Amino acid sequence: MDTSPTPAPDTTPLGTPRPDVTAAGRPSTPRVGRPGSGRHRTGPGTAPEITRSTDTGAGSTTGRPTDARRTTTGRTTDAPRRATTDGDTDTAGPATNRKATTARRATTPRDADAPEPTAGHRKTDSPRRGSTSRGTDAAAGASRPGKARPVDTGPPAAHRTAPGRGPEKNQTTTGHGPTESRTATGRRPGTTTTRREAAAEPPAGTAADTTGPAPASRRRRTLLLVLALTAATSATALVLGLLSWAPDPPEPTRPLTLAEGERLAAARVTNLRDLRAGVRITAGADAARIELVGWVDWSRSLLYLDVGGPGASTERGLVQRVGPILVIRPDPAAVPTPAAPPLLPPADRWRLHRLAPGTPLGPVLDLLLGLATDRPDQTQAVPGSGARWIARDTVAAGPVDVLQASLPAGPPQRTPAPGSTGAPTPGAGSASTDPDGQTRFWLDQDARLHKLVTRLPGVGPVTMILNRADRPTLRPVDALGGRPGLPRTLTDAERRRLDRLPARLRAQRGATMTLTAPVGTDTNLRGTGWVSWTTRSAYLAVADLGVPDRRTLLRRDTAGLTRADLPADAAGGGTAEVPGRPPLPPPAGPWRAQRSGGDDLTMLVDAAVAAGSVGPSGTAVRVREDVTAGRTVDVVEVGPAGARLRYWIDRDGSLRRLELHTDANAWAQLDLQPAVVPRLNPVPRPAAKPRPAAPRPR
C-alpha cells in the first residue's frame, strides 16, 4: 500500500519566459556561482543549466530543466530529466543519477523545431528554450519511489547539425522509453530544414537521373559538335578557293583619254605650284649606281641632297644647287647609303664644284629641276603624241594612274655665267635624254607626280620617288647667297648706323679676318689675317683648296697691294681648309706688286680696308635679318649689279661681315671680329732695277 503523500499539482506556468531571458532566447544576466542555481555553459560537451524549482508537495523533488539553446550547433534538449536542487532530499523514491543525466544532456541534440505536443507530454515555448517537454508520467514517477523508472537516455541522436554528427532524433520521455517521430525523409514532422540540408537535398519531385547525362551536358555537346562542323566546312572551302584562285588578267593598255592627257600636260605646272617636295632617286646600275635623298624647291630652282651609292665618287656628301651653280660638302668617310640631310646645313667646308664629263649626277639633277614650268605642255595632250595609259597602282599617297609618254620639252638651254660650273643646263625633255619615249609617270587625280621611271643616256635606269607631304623651307648655304629675304629700303635707324660705320670702325682700331671665297670653278680660297683701320692696311695668308701645300701672302697698305707665293710651312702652316695666320714680320721673298681690284679677292680686301674711311656708295637696300657669331645683324646690299657688296652690321653699328658677289655667281665672305691688331710693318720691297744707260750720240 502506497502511504506517500500525494504531491501537489505543479502550478508553475510553462509558457512564461523567465525574467533573466531575453526575447532572443539568451540569458540577459548570467547567474554564476549562486547557491541553488545552475550554470550557463556554452562550450560543447558541457552539462546544460540546472534550475531550481519550488516543491509544492511534501517530499516532492520534481525539477524543471531549463534547456539552454546552443547557437553554434542548433541543438535543443527535449528529453525530460530529473534534477535535484542543492540542499533538497528526494524522499519519494530512489535518487536520480545526476551524472548520467548530465552526460545524456551533453550528448542529446536540441532542436528549436520540436514536434507538436502529444497526449503524453506538453511543449513549452520560451525565448530561452527552444522546446521543453514535460511528461506527467515522469513527475508521477518521481513522487513514487516504488514505481520509479530509470531515465532512458535513448539511442544515439539521429540528426545533428554540427559537422561529424548524425541526424537529429526527436525524443520524448513518457516513462516507458523514448519514441521517435520521423517523416519519409528521416526528419521529424514540423522540423525546419537547415540551409546545409537544403543544399544537399535534391529538389522536391525530382528523381536522381543515373542513367544518362544531364540536359545541360547534352546541349553543350550538341553546340560543340555544330561548331566543329562549321569550322571544318570553312577550312575546306578556303582550301578549295585557294587552289582554284587565279588573278584577274591585267587591263590592256590604251591611248590616253582627254582628261588623262590634260593631267599629264599639267604635271609640271602642279610641281611649280606646290613649290617643294621630298625626293629619293636611284640612277644607274651595279657599281655605277648613285643614290640621292633630299628635297627639291622648284620655285627657286634649288636642290639640297645627300649623295651616296657606289658610283658617287668625289661627290659623296652634301650637295646644293641653285640654277647652274653647284656647291658640295664632300665627305669621303660617309656610309654608302645616303640619309636625309640636316635642314640647317653646316656652315663650313662648302666649295664650288664642277662636275666631270660623264658623271651621272649632272643629267639627273637637270632632269629633276626640269620637272617644273609655268605653263602646260600641250604636246602631251595631243591624241597623236603616243602617250598611253598603262595601269592603275597605289602609292603611299593613294591610288594613281601609270601613264607612259615622252619627257616634256624643257626650257631653252641656259648659258652659264663666266666662271660658273660649266656645262649648260639641258632641257628636261631633249631628245638626248629620252630617245625611246619609255618614261612612265605615276599621276594622281590632281595631276601630282608621285613617281617617275625613265632611262637616260650615259646613266641608265633612273627612278624618282616624290614625297608630296615632305615640304620644308630650304635654306641655301652662304656660298649661294644664304636664305632669301624681302628687300626693302632702310629705316632711319638703319641709315644712321650705315653712315656712322667708318667712325665706328676707326674707334675699334682693327679686327681679325677669315676669308671664304669660291671665286672660280676650281678655285676655292680660305684665308686668315688682320685688318687695321687706323693705318688702313691688311695682311693675310690665303690657301687654295686645289693646291693645299702652297700659300699666298697678301699685303695691302697705303703704298699699294703686294703678294708672295710661298710653301705652306713658310707662310704660317695650317691646313688648306683652315690656314694659319701669316708670319710676323713678313718674310723676305719674291714679293710682287699687283693692281688693286684686279680680281674678286683684291676687291673684297680693298672694300674691308676702305670701310674704315668712307661709307659705302650707291643705293642701299636691306635684304634680310640674319645671325652671325651669335649676334643679330642687318644685311644691307650696296653697289651695282655687277659688283654687289653686302654689309652685315650688328645693332651696335659694328661691321661683322663683308660679302661680294663673284664672277662665278657665288658669294665670297670676309668675316670680321674686333681684336687687337699687331703692328703691321711694311713688306720688304724689291730694289728698283737701274735702267740701262742710253748711248750718247756722237
Whether residue 537 is predicted with pLDDT greater than 60 in this model: the reply is yes
Q: Looking at residues 151-167, what average pLDDT do you find?
A: 42
CA angle 336, 332, 315 (to 5 degrees): 80
Distance separating alpha carbons of residues 290 and 252, to the nearest angstrom? 34
Which pLDDT band holds residue 238 (cuts at 50, 70, 90)?
A: confident
pLDDT in tens, 306-337: 999 998 888 999 999 999 999 999 998 888 88
pLDDT in tens, 547-556: 999 999 999 9
Classify residue 579 by its DSSP letter.
B
Whether residue 183 is predicted with pLDDT greater than 80 in this model: the reply is no
Q: Looking at residues 351-373, what average pLDDT do you find?
A: 93
Whether residue 193 is predicted with pLDDT greater than 60 in this model: the reply is no
Which pLDDT band holds residue 99 (cuts at 50, 70, 90)?
A: very low
Report pLDDT for 283: 96
Whether residue 138 is predicted with pLDDT greater than 60 in this model: the reply is no
Q: Looking at residues 179-196, what average pLDDT do you find?
A: 44
Which pLDDT band holds residue 642 (cuts at 50, 70, 90)?
A: low
More confidently predicted of 584 and 410: 584
Residue type, 23: A
Whether residue 436 is predicted with pLDDT greater than 90 in this model: the reply is no
Report pLDDT for 645: 93
SS3 107: helix
Report pLDDT for 328: 95
pLDDT in tens, 240-274: 877 776 666 667 889 999 899 999 999 999 999 99
Report pLDDT for 696: 53
**Pick from 669, 668, 665: nearest CA to 418:** 665
DSSP secondary structure letters along 43-91: STTPPPP-------STT----------BTTTTB---S------TT----
Residues 456/464, Cβ–Cβ less than 8 Å = no
Residues paired with 223 in a beta bridge? none
Structure-block grid coordinates of residue 690: 737701274
More confidently predicted of 685 and 235: 235
Residue type, 151: V
Mean pLDDT of the chain, nearest integer: 74
Report pLDDT for 275: 94
pLDDT in tens, 618-641: 789 999 999 998 899 999 999 876
Residue type, 670: L
Which pLDDT band holds residue 41 (cuts at 50, 70, 90)?
A: very low
Which pLDDT band holds residue 61 (cuts at 50, 70, 90)?
A: very low
Distance separating alpha carbons of residues 412 and 522, to the nearest angstrom? 26
Residue type, 237: A
More confidently predicted of 426 and 522: 522
Residue 507: its H or E element:
helix 501-508
Q: Looking at residues 671-690, what average pLDDT do you find?
A: 78
More confidently predicted of 572 and 144: 572
Distance separating alpha carbons of residues 218 and 222, to the nearest angstrom? 6
Lowest mean pLDDT among 47-61, 373-387, 480-494: 47-61
Per cent of the chain over pLDDT 90 is 45
Report pLDDT for 639: 82
Distance separating alpha carbons of residues 326 and 324, to the nearest angstrom? 6
Per cent of the chain over pLDDT 70 is 61
Neighbouring CB atoms inside 10 A of 458's CB total 14
Report pLDDT for 349: 93
Distance separating alpha carbons of residues 325 and 420, to the nearest angstrom? 6
Report pLDDT for 520: 85
Residues paired with 624 in a beta bridge? 635
Which pLDDT band holds residue 378 (cuts at 50, 70, 90)?
A: confident
Phi, psi of 256 (to 5 degrees): -70, 145
Report pLDDT for 538: 95
Q: Name the one residue in this structure whose C-alpha cell is 599639267.
A: 266
Q: Looking at residues 663-675, what average pLDDT do you find?
A: 94
DSSP secondary structure letters along 142-185: HH-GGG--PPP--SPPS---STT--------B-SS-B-----TT
**Pick from 482, 536, 507: nearest CA to 652:** 507
**Pick from 534, 28, 481, 464: nearest CA to 279:** 464
Report pLDDT for 685: 64
Q: Looking at residues 93-110, what average pLDDT do you find?
A: 44
Q: Looking at residues 610-620, what average pLDDT do you find?
A: 86
Report pLDDT for 517: 94
Size of the chain in residues: 698
SS3 sequence of 226-273 = HHHHHHHHHHHHHHHHHHHCCCCCCCCCEECCHHHHHHHHCHHHHHHH
SS3 sequence of 374-411 = CCCCHHHCCHHHCCEEEEEEEECCEEEEEEEECCCCCC
Whether residue 413 is predicted with pLDDT greater than 60 in this model: the reply is no
Whole-model pTM over 0.75? no
Residues 516/596, Cβ–Cβ less than 8 Å = no
Distance separating alpha carbons of residues 538 and 552, to the nearest angstrom? 14
Report pLDDT for 450: 97
Report pLDDT for 521: 79
Structure-block grid coordinates of residue 655: 661691321
Distance separating alpha carbons of residues 453 and 443, to the nearest angstrom? 12
Q: Looking at residues 186-194, what average pLDDT do you find?
A: 47
- Highest mean pLDDT pick, 7-16, 90-99, 183-192, 239-248: 239-248
Q: Looking at residues 12-36, what average pLDDT do you find?
A: 44
Report pLDDT for 494: 94
Residue type, 687: A
Report pLDDT for 693: 59
CA dihedral 221, 223, 225, 227 (to 10 degrees): -150
User: Residue 190: CB partners within 8 Å, gap ≥ 6?
Assistant: 113, 114, 115, 116
Report pLDDT for 211: 52
Whether residue 204 is predicted with pLDDT greater than 50 in this model: the reply is no
Q: Looking at residues 498-527, what average pLDDT do you find?
A: 93
